[in-house]
Structure 1
């Protein structure tokens, strides 16, 4: 995905989902012990049911260059964090970020990355499976320390052992407080090629994520202001 330009404002292309068509060589890609531990930690997390979280994408597969929008809703006023894991394994935090420094959201309101966060996302290379995790907590909780002066979106490269270890430590702290969350996965493909084989690695999706690739509904269209309260079925605990 592109968040405005990967180096300046990252065009939130769900962060350049990388993992080009998994050839035999790509299948042999190895990850550091720190990265493997992080992915296992994410997939073994147990979100509480005290806050109901729904999130969805419009489609399960996107072609390069297509616009992308994520929508979500939580049943209680919460502080949210959106974590994107690209097909190559790099991690970028969409919220909070220089574009969305305030991460407190209202209960039962449908939020859009486009209308509310003003993130014009387009799907960009590389291709493969992209994962987005949504965490919400009843109290402020930080997954990283930065002022966003050096990097508009906090990013962790798959081989950055220091940042990976720091994130693992924060996830261990997360287990000690009240939190909930969910995840979505979608496939990014080239418009001129087929789906290609699935990558051999794990994706780091916090449960639950449905087998269809998206873990929720894509809510009805928002009005021009981006504030449709028309949620016919608001989430309830």
Structure 2
């Protein structure tokens, strides 16, 4: 009986042992598969992260290029504005140059007129009135000097007066011509306002009066010279 039982249990034990071995093998294979799968998933995740990082870097590069383009656009806009402003400045400078040229032509005409009549009259007296720096208004002293000259003109109807305005060397030629004209015009207005006929007055602004360059010379240059003239007999 015992031998028979052993013989019957033998195949059963073999099957059980074989089943256990198969389960262990399966578990081992599953474990290896899981490890391999995890490794692949980790590697794939790493690749995805690297790709995402490259995309971020490319996006930053695109943003940087976009900013550069915006900066260039702003520079072009500023350049266009500067060009327009330069054009306006050039046009204004051209207009001022034309104005200065016109004034110079006017001065030349007056000088030519005075020069042509230089022998038709004789000089009787020369008077000078001084002005402050860059000013064309008459001081009290200048008005006192002119008052005496007005009395002389009133007593001698045959006399005429030539006014020559001057400036010192400071300032541009165009500015100095205008300032000298304003000074001569101020004297003319004072004379006319005190009864001297306008037809007896010749006036001109000659601009800068050169000199050695001292402060005293500059002060003397800021003047209007009045020449009392008498028609030659």
Is TM (by shorter chain) over 0.5?
no
Q: More helix by proportion, 1 or 2?
A: 2
**Range into which the TM-score falls when normalised by the shorter chain:** under 0.3
TM-score, normalised via structure 2 length = 0.25
